[in-house]
């Protein structure tokens, strides 16, 4: 198990290899569909200090608002990442984001982007929402809650020992490509005999 502390350097990220199991601690931000569309249309500067050498978590949490106005995450597993394929490589390069955390993996454009700008794709376990919410120790802030709604807002969170697996690295390795190539062979045999 490799412990990653945020912020993290490009050099440290480039050391990671497909299959590495990691835990993450520090400050990161959630962003999913509407957030990525918004970034791509506006490239806001206010995200720079939040994202630089940090990570984006593809997550739309169930949250609880407390009487003092603070928030906590009640359920917070990853959402499917491939929907951000049109945006992610550019977002990571622009803001120097060192990893995205999600599920299901991403495509060729992101894989090439990881190599170019120095990043990895971290796979969290889908549906592990009750457990992963425990790793979110504090909600520091929330941005654009009114415009985007709870699932789609930017939640600036502090995580501790958040578990994930490197399934795409900065050297062209992708577990998703490898598994698909293998299952394609089996499917072809089952379908065409």
Partner 1 sequence: MIQYDAGRVKNQLLELIRLAATDLPEDVVESIRNARENEPEGSSARSVFGMLLKNIELAREESTPICQDTGTNIYMVYIPEGVSMRKLTALIHEATSEAVDKSYLRPNAVDSITGKNSGNNIGEGQPFIHFEEWDNDYIEFKLMLKGGGCENVSTQYKLPDVGLGAGRDMDGVYKVIVDAVNQAQGLGCAPGILGIGIGGDRTSSHLTAKSQLFRKMTDTNADAALAELESKLYADLNKLGVGPMGFGGNTTVLGVKVGTLHRLPASFFVSISYMCWAYRRHSMILNTNGEVSYD
Kindly state the smallest distance separating residue 16's Cβ from partner 1, in Å: 16
Kindly tell me which of 52 and 184 has the beta carbon lying closer to partner 1: 184
Q: Which is closer to partner 1, CB of 21 or CB of 141?
A: 21
Sign of the alpha-carbon torsion through 74, 149, 114, 177: positive
CA angle 127, 166, 128 (to 5 degrees): 10
Q: Which two tokens stand for residue 51?
A: 């994202």
Comparison of 102 and 118: residue with beta carbon closer to partner 1: 102
Residue 19 CA, distance from chain mean position: 16
- What are 29's two structure tokens? 């931000």
Give the shortest CB-11-to-partner 1 separation in angstroms. Answer: 27
* Active-site residue (options: 36, 58, 123, 176): 36
Packed helices 33-42 and 88-95: angle between N→C axes, nearest 10 degrees: 60
CB hemisphere CA count around 145 (13 angstroms) = 10
What is the smallest separation between the CB atom of 9 and partner 1, expressed in angstroms? Answer: 27
Contact residues toward partner 1 (CB under 8 A) are 34, 59-64, 74-77, 79-80, 82, 103-105, 123, 125-131, 133-134, 148-152, 165, 167, 175-176, 179-180, 182-184, 186-187, 190-192
* Residue for token pair 């990043």: 119
Cβ closest to partner 1, residue 27 vs residue 62:
62
CA distance 76 to 128: 8
Whose Cβ is closer to partner 1: residue 98's or residue 176's?
A: 176
Least distance (Å) between residue 156 CB and partner 1: 17
Instruction: Please report how close the Cβ of residue 185 comes to partner 1 at its closest, in angstroms.
Output: 9
Sorted by sequence, the CB contacts under 8 Å of residue 24 that are 6+ apart come out as 4, 6, 55, 101, 122, 159, 161, 162, 164
Q: Decide if 36 is catalytic.
A: yes
Instruction: Give the residue numbers marked as catalytic.
Output: 36
């Amino acid at each position: 198990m490799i412990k990653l502390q945020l912020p993290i350097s490009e050099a440290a990220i480039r050391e990671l290899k497909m299959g590495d199991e990691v835990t993450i601690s520090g400050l990161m931000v959630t962003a999913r569909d509407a957030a990525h569309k918004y970034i791509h249309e506006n490239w806001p500067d206010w995200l720079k200090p939040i994202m630089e050498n940090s990570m984006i978590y593809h997550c739309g949490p169930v949250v609880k608002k407390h009487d003092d106005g603070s928030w906590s995450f009640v359920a917070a597993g990853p959402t499917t990442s491939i929907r951000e394929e049109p945006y992610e490589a550019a977002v990571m390069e622009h803001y120097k984001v060192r990893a995205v955390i999600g599920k299901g993996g991403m495509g060729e454009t992101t894989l090439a982007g990881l190599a170019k700008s120095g990043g990895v794709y971290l796979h969290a376990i889908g549906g592990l929402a009750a457990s992963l919410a425990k790793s979110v120790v504090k909600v520091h802030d929330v941005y654009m809650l009114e415009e985007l709604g709870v699932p789609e807002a930017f939640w600036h969170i502090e995580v501790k020992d958040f578990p994930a697996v490197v399934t795409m690295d900065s050297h062209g390795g992708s577990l998703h490509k490898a598994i698909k190539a293998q299952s394609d062979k089996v499917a072809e045999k089952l379908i065409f005999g």
